[in-house]
Chains A and B, each alone.
Chain A
Amino acid sequence: MLYRESGDFKTSYSADQQTFPIRLDRHMVYGILAFAFLVVPFLINDYWEKSVLLPFLVWAMAALGLNILTGFCGQVSLGTGGFMAVGAYACYKLMVAFPWLNMFVVVILAGLITAMVGVLFGLPSLRIKGFYLAVATLASQFFLIWLFNKVPWFYNYSASGMIAAPERTLLGIPVTGAEAPPWMTYLFCLTLVTVFAFIAHNLVRGRIGRSWMAIRDMDIAAEIIGVPPLKAKLSAFAVSSFYIGMSGAMMFALYLGSAEPSDSFGIAKSFLVLFMIIIGGLGSILGSFLGAAFLTLLPVLLKNIMVGGFGWPPDLAAHLELLLIGALIMFFLIVEPHGLAQLWRVTKERLRLWPFPH
């Protein structure tokens, strides 16, 4: 009753093929976007920007990227942190070399550079499968981090070995650096994430997305019916690395402001993004957002309760947080291995039947 598709008639092919064919879905997405673009920028402050909204958007972008590779194409990757580092360092080098370049262009170019690196590290996937591939992608993680630590050209020979984002403006308002107002950085990230989420949504339901899913479900069978594995796997690596690179660039330039390879893009980050897509739902665009929201909000919430609420010492709270996150991950996987997106699907089904279930 509450959620239904009856009475929603399509009279043209374009209406039938639009991104959100069900009217209620469409209205919900418009509503959320209107709220995010028109209301949140007026309410936002430094705390919400730095500890909730920006991390959510950055991780949502990374989760989208990894979900394309792991959820849609079935190639498990543990190199996300390394690719994010590539995006961040490409963004830094571009910002320094071309100060006049528009920030949107810088982030997208950083993504493209990461895509090229991603294709290079995706080559072994043509020969190696499953867990062997997952462990092999760790090679990219460790090698890239080592490279950014050891080659001074990447951090412009700075004494500390760190990279810091110089101030760049967009329409006369600073968007990176310490002076950037919270609403500006937020809107910048939100625009990018929205646009590329729509692109991803349409990519995965088109020809290329279907070829990824065929490879995921059974690569030999897909090859026999005429899906070229080379093209499908490498394009998945390219698109996925493109998203992850953009998220790394956003993380460095807008969220952190400065970065250091081992801490900001270590192996823990790779696992974090993998958790996000598993808890959110493998092979679901919505799931990437839900998983990113869950895993960025949960630590903030736990910290506020334990340190702010009970007044426990931070080190104890940190250990308890680790324990609780581990327990929650196991709990979620036991209760719903298909993730939060599956819960949402079940809820929709319930709402359709409500109040007259079978």
Chain B
Amino acid sequence: MSPELLNVLEVMLNGLLAGVMYSLVALGFVLIYKASGIFNYAQGVMALFAALTLVGFQTGQIPFAHVINTMFGTHVETWGPGVPTFLAIILTIGVMVLFAYLVERVVLKHMVNQAPIILFMTTIGLAYFMEGFGDLMWGADIKTMDVGLPSGASTWFETTTASWAAEGSNYPGMYVDMLDVSAAGIAILLVVVLTLFSQYTKTGRALRAVADDHQAALTVGISLRTIWVIVWSIAGCVALVAGIMWGAKSGVQFSLSLIALKALPVLILGGFTSIPGAIVGGLIIGVGEKLFEYSIGGMLGGATENWFAYGLALFFLMFRPQGLFGERIIERV
């Protein structure tokens, strides 16, 4: 194969892997939207918060150390060497479940039957709150995340692909980050687990019932509030996975919360209500924006990734206003 073709293949492959990362975030949105009709803008900040908490447990930081030091003039930072990664993940899941419970108790309980835009704004308020809270609790400095996932280039893949090129073309081989590959593996695992959970467990069936029709679910005796806590907990766990992956890739810092903006075009492209939609949408957008940047972006001055995803999603919406896999919007007068 010629090096040009291999270059395009490499760009596409990296686009696919980037798309998986977008899908991871979009998945959390879809879960909450399906179960409660809430467009949860705070999903990105939840990922940031989960990642901060995980790093905090791992390194043994004292929560609110900065505040305590300012108020009492002390110099406390850490309480020990930290806990092992596995335990830290379990503790973080606990924190996310607690968070889901509190959100339902303090906020969502009062917002039943409000207009969708009001609920959306509430989650933006929640995002502000959690961003401030996370910064106060764990500090705003950039942290590195290390959960023992493989990272760096895969030399095996590089040498294999180098041998595909024509003789004497001096092709160095494709670059693939091991972290992206493991992220893709984990994403597939996550989708399989979620699908099995919603198909074969009692709670999963209840979740699907609530997603179908709130009132009918209430009538047959499903507790809406419990379901909401469960859904927000699951979304919290998905946020943790996204936070680990993105955090390991680019450090745990404020910009992590902006991945929500990357996931939004994926959402509208795939449809708000569809888990396969979130995956396929992510893949299309990942490949699309990488290919566009590679082929045309340079001529336009670069950094087209900022808006191309939105343009692509908009183009698809012109033909299918409910997204590729979204439920058909039926309007009655």
Contacts and interface: CB of A to CB of B under 8 A. Distances in A.
Interface in B232-261: 261
A325 B272 CA distance: 28
Given A138-B310, A150-B301, A330-B122, A131 B39 contact: yes
Interface string A195-228: 0000000000000000000000010110010000
A337 B118 contact: yes
Interface string B104-125: 0001001100111110111011
A32 interface: no
Contacts of A146: 303-304, 306-307
A321 B135 CA distance: 11
Interface stretch (A10-18, A109-117, A122-130): A122-130
Contacts of B318: 124, 127-128
B51 interface: no
B164 interface: no
Contact of A224 (B70, B118, B307, B333): B333
A135 B116 contact: no
Contacts of B133: 323
Nearest to B66: A316
B313 interface: yes
B118 A278 contact: yes
Nearest to B42: A326
B18 interface: no
Contacts of A139: 307, 310-311, 313-314
A323 B132 contact: yes
A170 interface: no
Q: Which of A224, A319, A325 has the most CB of B within 10 A?
A: A319
Interface string B302-327: 11101100110110011001110000
B127 interface: yes
Interface string B18-57: 0000000000000000000001000000000000000000
B121 A275 contact: yes
Q: Which of B121, B267, B302, B310 has the most CB of A within 10 A?
A: B121
A142 B307 contact: yes
A121 to B, nearest CB: 10
B130 interface: yes
Contacts of B261: 138, 267
Interface in A108-166: 124, 127-132, 134-136, 138-139, 142-143, 145-146, 149-151
A271 interface: yes
A150 B321 contact: no
A90 interface: no
Contact of B115 (A134, A322, A337): A337
A316 B137 CA distance: 11
Bin the interface of chain B by size.
35 or more
Contact of A326 (B67, B131, B268): B131
Q: Main secondary structure on chain B at its contact with chain A?
A: helix
A320 B314 contact: no
A143 B311 contact: yes
Nearest to A328: B125
A334 B107 contact: yes
A151 B70 CA distance: 46
B129 interface: yes
Given A127-B321, A131-B39, A333-B122, A319 B307 contact: no
A315 B318 CA distance: 44
A310 to B, nearest CB: 9
A320 B136 CA distance: 7
A326 B125 contact: yes
B111 to A, nearest CB: 7
Q: Which of A124, A131, A325 has the most CB of B within 10 A?
A: A131
B197 interface: no
Given A131-B272, A139-B314, A326 B321 contact: no
Interface in B277-333: 300-304, 306-307, 310-311, 313-314, 317-318, 321-323, 329, 331, 333
A52 interface: no
11 contacts: A76-B117, A131-B39, A132-B272, A142-B307, A150-B302, A220-B331, A321-B132, A324-B132, A326-B126, A326-B132, A329-B121
Interface of B: 39, 66-67, 70, 107, 110-111, 114-118, 120-122, 124-133, 135-136, 140, 261, 264-265, 267-268, 272, 300-304, 306-307, 310-311, 313-314, 317-318, 321-323, 329, 331, 333
Given A76-B117, A132-B272, 12 more contacts: A70-B117, A135-B265, A135-B310, A136-B313, A138-B261, A139-B313, A221-B333, A271-B124, A275-B124, A312-B70, A325-B128, A329-B124
